[in-house]
Amino acid sequence: MNIILASASIRRQELLKRLVSDFEIIVSDFDEDTIKFYGSCSEYVMNLSKGKALDVVKKAEKDSIIIGCDTIVSIDNRVLGKPKDKEEAINMMESLSGRKHEVYSGITIINTMTKEVVSDFSCTSVEFSELSKEEILRYVESDEPYDKAGAYGIQGKAGVFVKEIHGCYYNVVGLPLNKLRGMLKKMGVN
């Protein structure tokens, strides 16, 4: 069966290669602003991932398994998406400094042949060390924060800020592999 990843994320593409050797990439044009946050991070990321996957269903040219995914960072019941500018990236890093936060990824898989739709999520707790203003500014100047939820990538330069992690590391990178593997197996994809 044809497999489609509904994401432009290089990190997700690299991770999916660990599970599936051959897949197609069709980038979703889903407007994430149409999904409102009502206090449940798990519901929010599952709705985002479902929106992305459903958008790609319209673009798929043959029967496929479509994988949609979205990742957010949450602290103090606030959602931290991708920072829009330097100031927002600095504010996000300051709010994470010396504290625990949660990273949520929602996954939706759609089988276009059977019309089966399955959504789930993964949550990982991450604790940052205390960061100095200089460390934050140096990191933000690296341009690494701008395409990442919460303004950081655990697999990149910000990995040195991580004091402790509880849960799936790959969830923090953007694609919880073990969760996805289980979901695919339940849909008959080995």
| Residues annotated catalytic, as ranges | 70
Helix-, strand-, coil-residue percentages of the chain, each rounded to 5: 40, 25, 35
Dihedral-angle region of residue 102 (phi above 0 means left; psi in -120 to 50 means alpha; beta otherwise): beta
Could you give the CA distance from residue 7 to residue 190 in angstroms, rounded to a whole number? 21
Structure tokens at 1: 């069966």
Alpha-carbon torsion (87, 93, 99, 100), positive or negative = positive
E-assigned strands of the chain? Answer: 2-5, 24-25, 64-75, 78-80, 100-111, 116-128, 162-166
Note whether 110 and 54 are within 8 A (CB). Answer: yes
